[in-house]
Chains A and B, each alone.
Chain A
């Protein structure tokens, strides 16, 4: 169990004023650290590894204390036995794969060293590359060798900073499978940083969400991704629409409340939240959760049907992004995703009158 609770601040002349204040526990197994860029994920890893020093707090792995503010204990990276795989991998370009992997085992006798290196290279299926230099190795194999280099030292914990960037889906899952297999016997805490939603869902482990230097939520991927607490996190989780409005009416019996958007007559029904009539709120809706109809729909279960006009259609590869302005309040614009097939069949075009359908539970209240 890796336990960390600390405060870290960086004042100018660094890039900008930045404050990280976290308290987290990482059990054995893979935990995801998720958040938008600038949230402090890399800095958090740096502090855990000993590359940066927090101002106060405590970091420990099981009974080994790595950093303790009150007693001024601060182990250097060399002494922490925390493995850290950077986004750029940082393989030594002048050494072969085998030499790279052997680098952390310098204190061991030659035979033990060679044996361990061979063993882990085999475990990660890169044994045949051992005499190649990093420049001659590509993609997923480099990731594997970097992992091998970090894990051969039998670390107490493993930190991974965006380890799957640039890999295709197949390679990603293969690398993660190898990692899981390795950890099945060792059972060390592994903290994996990503800003990619799909990876969070696919890896399916515990997630810690970080934003603006603070932990904003923890739990399963579903919990963290589906109910974002902060707007930035919501953006990272794939909400394209953020609608401001005021609470017009509360309907506790139905479990909903009505929100009037901006200063218009347009109203939508959203799940009941902790708000009172007259409060300013922000509602987040995914572009993919909005349906488009060319004729006014009826007898639908959806509670929100909004008349509007298509202002633009933009093709984005496999989908089309439509901007629809609200008839009741033209200043409000919705972003809607539709398939190219739908555009063809419905003969959608700019200027066309359409009706938007939003399910109540597709609308999420987020903090401003």
Chain B
């Protein structure tokens, strides 16, 4: 037929090539199919102070829709940097409204989805076996001589830290306690410092103080007029594979049952009658 006859080896490799291509195509189809399945899952980046409230909210939402939530907890600042570099999240729950604002202005987030889901509250917290009694002595607990270290979140980038510093200044105590301050990378690390006993007291998020691990400690909620509001906001990200489901979750958060859940975990709900943050059983 042709001048050069293909050697048996070359014919074999042609067959192998065709087989390889078929396998790759099958894999791609399979991936596409599973991708379809993944679309039913929402990837959420959430500030660490939501780690107790979010599972509850997710469970409620999953019951009424077929959407599963895959939540990652961490510091808002970290998430911000990652999202800016293209981290594939659908939703971002930030402890500081500043980050979602920036994401919107840089075009990475959907402007109309920006939603302030809660106002953070700060408390003075000490472990159960501490000799201090902030619920009775309020600010005075911090100036007790037995307090050598006070843990707060880093005010340079954590909203709870900034609020703590602002409140201390308003209460006229900042200069006095400043030498004793130690800074956690985020509010969770600050909590860790106090829980391990390395710091004798801390200014932490109310949501953390109410969490199972810290519930048995003693705390006093610092009046919210002493510090700028800790506006916690969520936003849908532009490259979310399923923006519809993401928006649906945010809509769910505006319902009264979701708000009630949030407030029971220590978040004050904006534009709602002030709900006493201290739960009845304390």
* A–B proximity contact (CB within 8 A): no
